[in-house]
Amino acid sequence: MKRQNRKLVTYILAFLITMSHMSMASARSTFYNEAEEPTAGEMLADTVLVRVPMLLATVVGVVTFVVTLPLSALGGNVGQAGNTLVLEPAEYTFLRPLGDL
């Protein structure tokens, strides 16, 4: 069990580091108005550090959506729950260009 916890903590930390890097890169590109092609390193980082955790987030979102579907139906917010839990992570994982952080 400890090994699984270590893996989970490692994935979460990698995800958080990547998210903070993305926000800094976004601020930097906005400040300098950069329009450069992503480098191979950025593409590799996107693939390994962002897409894999986002794929896991998409799977967890699907499971959460299915489990909470009866409650969402009673509350009348099935569309909002599906958008937040499934569509947004899936779009970020599969539809944006590789290396576009």
Which tokens go with 17?
Answer: 């580091």
Q: What average pLDDT does this structure show over 93-100?
A: 90
Our count of domains for the chain comes to 1
48: pLDDT strictly greater than 70: yes
27: pLDDT strictly greater than 90: no
User: Is residue 18 domain-resident?
Assistant: yes
User: Is residue 99 domain-resident?
Assistant: no
Minimum mean pLDDT among 31-40, 48-57, 65-74, 89-98: which range?
A: 31-40
Contacts of 22 (CB under 8 A, 6+ apart): 50, 101
Residue ranges making up the domain that contains 28: 2-94
User: Is residue 100 domain-resident?
Assistant: no
- pTM listed for this prediction: 0.61
23: pLDDT strictly greater than 60: no
Strands (DSSP E) contained in 1-101 are none
92: pLDDT strictly greater than 80: yes
